[in-house]
Structure 1
């Protein structure tokens, strides 16, 4: 009836069919995962666009001006005066501590700020 080679070939065909089915099933699962991630990415991009639109709305100069006028007393916001600006030479030097020397590589910029060069 059946020879040994026939049985072996049938086993090989069944194994190949099972392997093909498993591979197809795994590929479909991966494709579903890719589609899910693509949908999630699209949703996040849309969310970012909405947040950017909200941010630009919240930062409109006219809105900020109205808020500033409404809350001037609470926030004490006043326009910057020209005398409030300082030059680098007018800024106080940062005190130099031994920990600063130990933490860094030992190079000190004495001319500009007295801080450790990073």
Structure 2
């Protein structure tokens, strides 16, 4: 009976060792993938910084003013003034269509035009 208990303990220890071995390699693989993703994210952040710098360079007020002056004949862009901006509450939007009126049986009838 004692040898059966020893055999069971040895098999359990071997099973746990095999499980730990597999988990170790899974963890190393996951850590490798994570470091690869972090390198990719760092590269994309660097690219984003370059794109933001290019955008800021292209949107310089002097450059845009020069482009407006060069293309004035085609675009006819003029500087915006404070009187050109209005509040959204002052805009007259079209009224929504009236809902259909129910007839005697209770069914909705479309309004006649």
Q: Taking structure 2 as the reference length, what is the TM-score of the superposition?
A: 0.69
Provide the residue aligned with 2:41 in structure 1. Answer: 41
Deviation of the 1:15 alpha carbon? 0.5
Over the residues paired in the alignment, what is the CA RMSD in angstroms? 2.6
Distance 2:17 2:91 in 1: 80
Structure 2 unaligned spans of 5+: 100-113
Distance 1:40 1:77 in 2: 42
Distance 2:55 2:72 in 1: 22
Provide the residue aligned with 1:60 in structure 2. Answer: 60
Runs of 4+ deviating beyond 6 Å: none
Over 3 Å counting, the alpha-carbon distance change for 1:92 and 1:34 in structure 2 is closer
Distance 1:9 1:86 in 2: 83
Provide the residue aligned with 2:108 in structure 1. Answer: none
Q: After TM superposition, list the pairs within 5 Å mapping 1:2-41 onto structure 2.
A: 3-41=3-41
1:26-50: CA deviation from partner (whole Å, max 9, x where unpaired): 1112211221221122112111111
Identify which of structures 1 and 2 has the higher relative contact order when contacts are C-alpha pairs closer than 8 Å and 6+ apart: 1
How many pairs are equivalent? Answer: 96
Deviation of the 1:95 alpha carbon? 2.2
Provide the residue aligned with 1:73 in structure 2. Answer: 73
Over 3 Å counting, the alpha-carbon distance change for 1:17 and 1:46 in structure 2 is same
Higher CA-based Rg: 2
Provide the residue aligned with 1:98 in structure 2. Answer: 97
